[in-house]
Structure 1
């Protein structure tokens, strides 16, 4: 168990580090591209990518999860997965490209046709990804996967920005996507050599596990993509661009901190097998850490959204400010149940995931439709926030059923984080000033708010921890990590001095 814990920790560090770098690159790319392109450019590409995402989800096979679940997959398992993914990619790519003229006519957008054809190429490329990359996760060795993600993100950013500087067109977004994808595929075969062959021998075995996961993925994609189609169809490409960029930025601070753990916890939880008590202890420990980091980070980003957008994106993007603010607070709540997916996957509860996603869709869709009909984009955001609150309750109830931790117990476990975040909000609001017009003033306001928020949250967290009697939790783990880091640095410094002395 200790060895597994160490592997999970190292894997989380690698993936978290990679995600931080990739997200920093993505944020940089978004900021630079927002200065070079128009909201309508982002909206045009977002409309096409949302269509493709729904189509891909409708044919999702979820073979990677099946390969993780199979204890000792053979070469033919990987060949079967590669063959199925290849066929799916070719069908989606050609079908999507063939529908380009119809979709362009439907949306009265001539530019949309060529974008859809280009994304059809992307879909076809996705079918030849190396399926053996999943071995990195299966063996809890995540650094290769992390490196691959960073390199692909770097290529995407460089090509996107370079193309935007030359073209000043939405094609920069497509060029970056295709370049990053192509590099990722090539590196996948270099890092994990594999010569695929056309096989379907293990189709039934793979499908037996992945069927419910695939159906669940379809529902989940509809759940989180149909609003983009609604905005693009009824509110226009400019609003869709604001909605896309605002959502892309809002998701980074909190939710992107959680995703690395989702990648590491599924295979790690799977090793616990049917030991519910072991899963319960692991879930409690990780979930408290996730909430202590992701929740205040998301809330904090919402608090600094105004000076950030004015400083980083410019006046063309002021409409994204309320979008970032509301979505950041919504994503902050999501952290409370964000680890239910790897938990359910580890217990083989794929049907439960499907039912959970279906229930969320049944709640989210009418709320967003009613909100948009009543108040346009603002109403849509309000509907999404209400649906997010209900969705958290659904996730926490599912955790209670899976491992026996009641919803109230889950809330009590994070009470210190809630109190410290409330203190942070009060402190940041108290120092808030109307956004200055000049760059220096905006930068000072942003820096001051971030500093006040960070200091107030850490101070309040430590105070609550002291009052509670210093129980085990994210605070004690952070202190232990700090001590170990100091010892490590001191030991290396000592050895360096000894070598210099000799």
Structure 2
């Protein structure tokens, strides 16, 4: 298995196993925490993590991408990256310590001060992570990434769930984050031994690549996170808790279903960026495969959101059903153009990605503010749906500019997946209305199992039928066959 495609498939197999475990722990953690904590507990932590994410992104140096793209990084490059990350982590830790009390006063939330102090410590620990782990992605080696991902998620899960069940405190969310970050640091050095030294070499080399990319990440984070601050300030902690949990659950199916592929895409695209026809063909194949997986995952969760929330989280979380239904669908549809980010990075077009993010920020801010003022939390959600669909169109136009594949050709590559997911959504929605609402847990389990089975059968059956009727063209169906063949070839000897 020496080809790029083979290595990507092998990497995806490792990442699939990793994501299956991590996703299972994350989902179970969310359910357990939701039963033991209140929406306002999630709200105060979401407020702190949003501010941390914005500040950390504003100061992000994009050293990971720079090291991946470098042809031959040596020990001095890794030490320089470690020094810059550690310095940045320390400064952000001090900044959060200074701003913790003023922020708690501004948002009228006393608990926010302690949360910010703890999250600042988390950022400092994050700056100490071994930069040599980038070699795993660069060389398309993923079994060690499996160890890193699973170990940190498992320890964080144990810590968060234990504190939530014993103390029923929002500190379960914070301490879970701290334990996860500490495990990440320790295991990164166990997997790839490295003794860093303090040096500020190669700063110009790093910044020449990452300047536009960092600027784009700043704008993009403001673009997709300022609404959390807006909801927290205008609607309060409980509304923010609903919004935060709903958004996370809505994003989870699309993110987890596609992560094993998307994490391998940037290194793969970078390795063939010098060959435009091959890059264009690879993009179309991977994008169609990602969409074929993401569309049923995201829209499937949207159509079963009501019984899922009532069963897994309880009646107090019913207000997030609308959030999940709306955002899970748009997150799935956004995969039609979401791979433009690794594509643009592989081609070195970080300036255009920054321009795109800036334009989206200018479009999104007024729409979200107007939605909030007119309709409250539902207005924010509707604004995200509209801007999310618009962003997908912009991304597809940008793909045409990068590799010359028209928007119509991009859509045609996904026509079977789009048609099949419409059939699936219609069938499951009609079945859910026929079954009606119930508060009985066993009935909810039966309903959910029936709807999921029906949805899977409708989507797979429709996709297979359309593929046969269209005389078995190249597409995600053939890619899935290849992946299954690779998996079976590994399983059979065992």
**TM-score by structure 1 length?**
0.96
Aligned CA distance change for structure 1 residues 485 and 347 (closer, same or farther; 3 Å) = closer
- Pairing of 1:308-323 with structure 2 (within 5 A): 308-323=308-323
Give 2:466's aligned residue. Answer: 464
1:7: Cα distance to partner? 0.9
1:70: Cα distance to partner? 0.8
- Paired residue secondary structure (2:103): helix
Give 1:348's aligned residue. Answer: 348
CA contact (8 A) 1:37 1:170 kept: yes
Tell me, yes or no, if structure 1 residue 387 matches structure 2 residue 387.
yes
1:232: Cα distance to partner? 0.7
CA contact (8 A) 1:289 1:473 kept: yes
Q: CA RMSD in A?
A: 1.4
1:363: Cα distance to partner? 1.4
Deviates further, 210-219 or 265-274? 265-274
CA contact (8 A) 1:371 1:380 kept: yes
In 2, distance between residues paired with 1:359 and 1:16?
34
| Gap regions ≥5 residues in structure 1 | 493-502
Give 1:245's aligned residue. Answer: 245
Give 1:339's aligned residue. Answer: 339
CA contact (8 A) 2:54 2:225 kept: yes
In 2, distance between residues paired with 1:484 and 1:217?
36
Give 2:444's aligned residue. Answer: 442
- Pairing of 1:252-331 with structure 2 (within 5 A): 252-331=252-331
- Paired residue secondary structure (1:99): helix
- Paired residue secondary structure (1:73): coil
Q: Deviations over 1:172-226 (max 9, x none)?
A: 1111100011011000011111111110111110111111111111111111111
Q: Deviations over 1:6-27 (max 9, x none)?
A: 1111112212321222121111
- Paired residue secondary structure (2:230): helix
- Paired residue secondary structure (2:140): coil
Give 1:420's aligned residue. Answer: 420
In 2, distance between residues paired with 1:476 and 1:273?
24
In 2, distance between residues paired with 1:144 and 1:447?
35
Q: Deviations over 1:39-94 (max 9, x none)?
A: 00000000011011111111110111111111001111111111111111111101
Number of residue pairs matched by the alignment: 492
Q: Deviations over 1:360-392 (max 9, x none)?
A: 111111111111111000011011100001000
In 2, distance between residues paired with 1:255 and 1:409?
24
CA contact (8 A) 1:262 1:341 kept: no
In 1, distance between residues paired with 2:138 and 2:368?
38
In 1, distance between residues paired with 2:379 and 2:64?
38
Tell me, yes or no, if structure 1 residue 105 matches structure 2 residue 118.
no
CA contact (8 A) 1:258 1:338 kept: no
Give 1:498's aligned residue. Answer: none
In 1, distance between residues paired with 2:490 and 2:129?
39
- Paired residue secondary structure (2:376): helix
Give 1:358's aligned residue. Answer: 358
Give 2:37's aligned residue. Answer: 37
Give 1:133's aligned residue. Answer: 133
In 2, distance between residues paired with 1:484 and 1:196?
39
| Gap regions ≥5 residues in structure 2 | none
